[in-house]
A and B are shown apart, each in its own frame.
Chain A
Amino acid sequence: MKRFATLYEALDRTTSTNEKVAALAAYFGSAPPEDAAWAVWFLTGRRLKRFLPSRLLAGWAMAEAAIPDWLFEESYASVGDLAETISLVLDGRGDRGDPEPAPDLPLSRWMAERLLPLRGLPPEEQRREVTAWWRGLPRWETFVLNKLLTGELRVGVSQTLVERALAQVAGVPPPALAHRLMGTWEPTADFYAGLFSPDTGEEDGARPYPFYLASPLEEPVESLGEPGEWLVEWKWDGIRAQLIRRGGGIHLWSRGEELITERFPELARAALSLLPDGTVLDGEILAFREGRPLPFAVLQRRIGRKKLTEKVLAEAPAAFVAYDLLEHEGRDLRETALATRREILERLLELGRPLFPVSSRVEATAWEEVARARTEARERGVEGLMLKRLSSPYRTGRKRGDWWKWKIDPFTLDAVLVYAQAGHGRRANLFTDYTFAVWSGGELVPVAKAYSGLSDEEIATLDGWIRRHTLQKFGPVRAVEPLQVFELAFEGIALSTRHKSGIAVRFPRIARWRTDKTPDQADTLEGIRRLIEA
């Protein structure tokens, strides 16, 4: 545990990427494999089922520190991280020195002998265990333990950095290592040893390839050169997924590395007969009817269902719109040019309709035509365009240069700030979570929450303003004088019975602080409703 806590501290103490990789490499090079396996598990953002409810932890901490609950809440609001708040209020109870240190236990034994068995215990016994651990650990280790207990162990290193460090120590190419970390695995010494095995090209049959992600196009589209060198497709708004047909089975993975085969039985069944063994497709799962995508909300309803009844399947018929072919006849095609991959893909899926259509090309010979096509996007129910360089390999992660997403301009509306709440983590103690309202019959009705879009400077200014113009406090939420107007951008809008305003907006964010506008110039609910009909 001490070794892992020290690694966490080293990662926390620098903003330099190189130093983070160096700290990780030093850890992986020296930690026992059974501990390192757990470290990889946590550092790549994997989670375990919760050991116990966080509110129990908070309650035990208040009792241990002998402070009232409102004071704990204020402390939490100020820190923005429960695990850290607990470690801070417990620090130096009574005296100021570190507690009598308990003997160190390796991370793997902490997991196997203490944390995992915690789940089966009644709350009183859990409490006895946890408080005893707290008493035996110094401040930082208490913090790391709490992170493990709350399951929110985000360290500020990306998966790519972990892969880079592991690849460095293992002497395996980073893409091979990235592949080995995909999908489902158990954090065992054997698994960890497997990460270090020589790159043979043969990998676990169910495992997906790392996804290649597009970057937003910020330069004029003409800067991309000849239109003929690009594949232009619609940007579908569904679930990005990889379909794996290997070893006689089908595995459907979401981009979040979740195995979702069982959510889409009709796709799995069709793929089994349609595709030859040794095939991996990259594509988008959509609710699709008569060649047209249905709104994302339709698909979402289906994902939310525990049981897939005939009715649900009929209401939200799924299709896998294929973008790319990553593996063909058991051969990794990722280094082959997109033009070739696409050709084979089109041949392979010739008979794929209706469940496996190939994502259609937007035919255009000049950028003006591409730009014109983009203006049709909303009407077609897509988010915009994808531009992919025909000569490019299938890369890993968000590498800029070969894949661009060119989204349609968002909807915007002007709304008034009515509530504010402090953020978490880096934004703790600053009012950064805002609720905005628009007019309806002379009243302001909340329509959206937004957390992003302002510069640090604007956030600081607004934070000061909020503190001076608070009308009322409701726990951590402050009602403020309705004076500040903001332009909000959002991707979509739909009627909703769950919201008081009767509408729900998608991906709202702050576009601009309209200091030039007064609250009476904000939009009306009626005006926004008209957007839905349009």
Chain B
Amino acid sequence: MKIPPMTPAPLLRIDDCGLFCEAGGFHVDPWKGVERAVISHGHGDHARWGSQAYLAAAPSVPILKRRLGEEARIEGVPFGERVRLGEVTVSFHPAGHILGSAQVRVERGGEVWVFSGDYKRDADPTCEGFEIVPCHTFITEATFALPIYRWRPAAAEAREVLAWWEGNREAGRASVLFCYALGKAQRILGELARITEGERDRTVFVHGAVEPLNECYRQAGVVMLPTRPVAETTRGQSFAGELVLAPPSAGGSPWMRRFGHAATAFASGWMRVRGTRRRRGVDRGFVISDHADWPDLLRTIAETGAERVLTTHGYSDSLARYLRERGLQAGTLATPFAGEAAD
């Protein structure tokens, strides 16, 4: 799409607090407390505490309440519904990243900006599928914007997780799989539920940080393997043969001792590179990511029809340079979003 002539000030720009929309009087995913925050999704680097009012996609609200507290003023808007804020119209569109994750569309006088938040294009049984939103300016994440990052379908990788779990069960070991508590854990539970449908009971043990988020997903009707918090087991419980999901921060902590000689693995897009896996000291890496890989970043940018692309977090420099060499108007936006932290 061509940018209409005589464009006034940019619709979104960086200020001290975040991505600011002056015409609409709000910030998108602000990193400091503001009057009105428009939130793309529930991960901690995007949904921060301290703003006076929050606006988000409706399916995201239960997760945000859990993150920001019941007292936070959070208003949900159904996907696709347009809301008037100041001089602009705002709407949320599925980003396919985690449950309720949204791209934020901002329109004023026929000019459209879209902030992608974090997104992926691959099928995910636990969240709404990504939707292409045509725009003039597309602000895209760039977490995995190098050509070395390409994902296989997550279902294929989930089958590897299952085979690994089975192998450890036969060897009488526990399988501890590190993954982010919000989104990745539920996606793994969802993928495993799909490929083990009709089998024996497969209850998965989970760390205390994971279970409350499982609840949010179950209430939204997402089908996952049954789970049981590790904390609810009695002392001396054997975990041999069991699968345990835990956040990466649990690795190397005293909490791990109860699993004895467990096999360990990490599920993340970063596991595509052997060095990253070896640095983590885990046995296995499963390449499961909730971010777009290199081909999907390029495909998405092309499909939005955007004439100008701004890249944030991750390999934003590389992506912007690559796009410029392809004749697009592209630059970087400096944000503190972490994408998928490597460590």
Binding site for B on A (CB under 8 A): 12-16, 65, 67-68, 70-72, 74-75, 78-81, 84-85, 88-89, 91-92, 96, 156, 424-430, 456, 460
Q: A13-B283, A70-B321, A74-B315 are in contact. Are A428 and B148 (CB under 8 A)?
A: no
Distance in angstroms from A461 CB to nearest chain B CB is 11
* Seed contacts A156-B278, A427-B275; 7 additional CB < 8 Å A-B pairs: A15-B281, A67-B147, A84-B273, A88-B149, A424-B275, A425-B275, A426-B279
Binding site for A on B (CB under 8 A): 146-150, 152, 263, 272-276, 278-279, 281-284, 295, 315, 318, 321-322, 325, 342-343
Residues of the B chain whose Cβ atoms lie less than 8 Å from the Cβ of A456? 279
Q: Is the CB of B146 within 8 A of A427?
A: no
Residues of the A chain whose Cβ atoms lie less than 8 Å from the Cβ of B283? 13-16
- Total cross-chain contacts (CB, 8 A): 73
Q: Is the CB of B273 within 8 A of A79?
A: yes
Chain A CB count within 10 A is highest, among B273, B278, B322, for B273
Q: Is the CB of B148 within 8 A of A75?
A: yes
Cα A456 to Cα B343 in complex, Å, equals 11
Which 8 pairs show the lowest CB-CB distances between chains A and B? A428-B275, A88-B148, A426-B278, A75-B148, A89-B147, A75-B146, A80-B275, A426-B279
Q: Is the CB of B325 within 8 A of A78?
A: no
Q: Is the CB of A74 within 8 A of B279?
A: no
Residues of the B chain whose Cβ atoms lie less than 8 Å from the Cβ of A85? 148
Cα A220 to Cα B147 in complex, Å, equals 53
Q: Is the CB of A81 within 8 A of B150?
A: no
Q: Is the CB of A78 within 8 A of B146?
A: yes
Distance in angstroms from B120 CB to nearest chain A CB is 14
Cα A74 to Cα B315 in complex, Å, equals 10
Closest chain A residue to B282, Cβ basis: A15
Residues of the A chain whose Cβ atoms lie less than 8 Å from the Cβ of B315? 74, 78
Cα A143 to Cα B284 in complex, Å, equals 17
Residues of the B chain whose Cβ atoms lie less than 8 Å from the Cβ of A91? 150
Q: Is the CB of B152 within 8 A of A71?
A: no
Closest chain B residue to A13, Cβ basis: B284
Closest chain B residue to A92, Cβ basis: B150
Closest chain A residue to B284, Cβ basis: A13
Residues of the A chain whose Cβ atoms lie less than 8 Å from the Cβ of B148? 75, 78-79, 85, 88-89
Contact sample, A vs B, 23 pairs, CB 8 Å cutoff: A12-B274, A13-B284, A14-B263, A15-B281, A67-B147, A68-B325, A70-B321, A71-B147, A74-B146, A74-B315, A74-B318, A75-B147, A75-B148, A78-B146, A78-B148, A79-B273, A81-B274, A96-B295, A426-B275, A426-B279, A427-B279, A429-B273, A429-B342
Q: Is the CB of A88 within 8 A of B275?
A: no
Residues of the B chain whose Cβ atoms lie less than 8 Å from the Cβ of A14? 263, 283
Residues of the A chain whose Cβ atoms lie less than 8 Å from the Cβ of B295? 92, 96
Residues of the A chain whose Cβ atoms lie less than 8 Å from the Cβ of B263? 14
Closest chain B residue to A66, Cβ basis: B147
Q: Is the CB of B273 within 8 A of A88?
A: yes
Cα A92 to Cα B151 in complex, Å, equals 9
Residues of the A chain whose Cβ atoms lie less than 8 Å from the Cβ of B322? 68, 71
Closest chain B residue to A74, Cβ basis: B318
Cα A75 to Cα B273 in complex, Å, equals 10
Residues of the A chain whose Cβ atoms lie less than 8 Å from the Cβ of B278? 156, 425-426
Closest chain A residue to B270, Cβ basis: A429
Q: Is the CB of A96 within 8 A of B273?
A: no
Distance in angstroms from A164 CB to nearest chain B CB is 20
Q: A70-B321, A71-B322, A426-B279 are in contact. Are A96 and B274 (CB under 8 A)?
A: no
Cα A79 to Cα B282 in complex, Å, equals 17
Residues of the B chain whose Cβ atoms lie less than 8 Å from the Cβ of A424? 275
Cα A424 to Cα B273 in complex, Å, equals 12
Q: Is the CB of A429 within 8 A of B150?
A: no
Q: Is the CB of B150 within 8 A of A96?
A: yes
Cα A75 to Cα B150 in complex, Å, equals 13
Q: Is the CB of B321 within 8 A of A78?
A: no
Residues of the A chain whose Cβ atoms lie less than 8 Å from the Cβ of B150? 88, 91-92, 96
Q: A13-B283, A14-B283, A426-B279 are in contact. Are A78 and B273 (CB under 8 A)?
A: yes
Residues of the B chain whose Cβ atoms lie less than 8 Å from the Cβ of A425? 275, 278
Distance in angstroms from A203 CB to nearest chain B CB is 37
Q: Is the CB of A430 within 8 A of B279?
A: yes
Closest chain B residue to A84, Cβ basis: B274
Cα A456 to Cα B252 in complex, Å, equals 13
Distance in angstroms from A451 CB to nearest chain B CB is 15
Contact of A71 among B146, B273, B342, B343 (CB under 8 A): B146
Contact of B272 among A65, A72, A88 (CB under 8 A): A88
